[in-house]
A = this chain, B = another copy of it.
Amino acid sequence: MLLSVNSASTLPLFEQLVTGVRGQIMSGELVSGERLPAARTLAQSLDVNVHTVLRAYQILRDEGFIDLRRGRGAIVADRAKNYAKVAVLVDTLVVEAKKLELTPNALGALIRAAWE
C-alpha cells in the first residue's frame, strides 16, 4: 500500500486519498478482500487528521469500492469489474479533447451534462 498526499496541492487531502486508493483498486494493485490500514494508523503515517482519512474511506464506501465497518476496518470490496474498457475510452477521449483545446474543466462539464 503506497500512498502519499501533497498538502501543497490545490486538491483537497481527502480527495487525493480517494483518488489514490480508487486508482489502485481499479488497476488491480489492491485486490478484493485486502485490508486497508486503520484510519488512525494511516492518518499518523501520512501526517493528516483522522477525519480526513475517514472521510476518504466513507466516500470509497459510498462508491462501492470498500467495505467499511467499525471494529473491522476497511476492506476492499468485491466489485469484480473490468475497468479496462473504460480506461481505453478515457484515454481516447482525452486525446480528442486536447486536439480541440478543451480544458479538463470543460470536459468535466460535458460529462456532467451527458450524465443524465
Taking beta carbons and an 8 Å cutoff, which residues of A are in contact with B?
Answer: 15, 18-19, 22-23, 26, 62-64, 79, 81, 83, 85-87, 89-94, 96-97, 100-115
Cα separation A102 to B94 with both chains bound (whole Å): 18
Q: Which residues of B contact A64 (CB under 8 A)?
A: 101
Cα separation A18 to B112 with both chains bound (whole Å): 13
Closest to A112 in B: B104
Out of B94, B107, B115, which one reaches A104, CB within 8 Å?
Answer: B115
Is A111 within 8 A of B108, CB to CB?
A: yes
Cα separation A46 to B4 with both chains bound (whole Å): 44
Shortest A63–chain B CB gap in Å is 5
Known pairs A64-B101, A83-B100, A100-B83; A90 contacts B106 (CB<8 A): no
- 7 pairs, CB–CB < 8 Å, chain A vs chain B: A23-B109, A79-B101, A89-B92, A90-B110, A91-B114, A93-B111, A111-B111
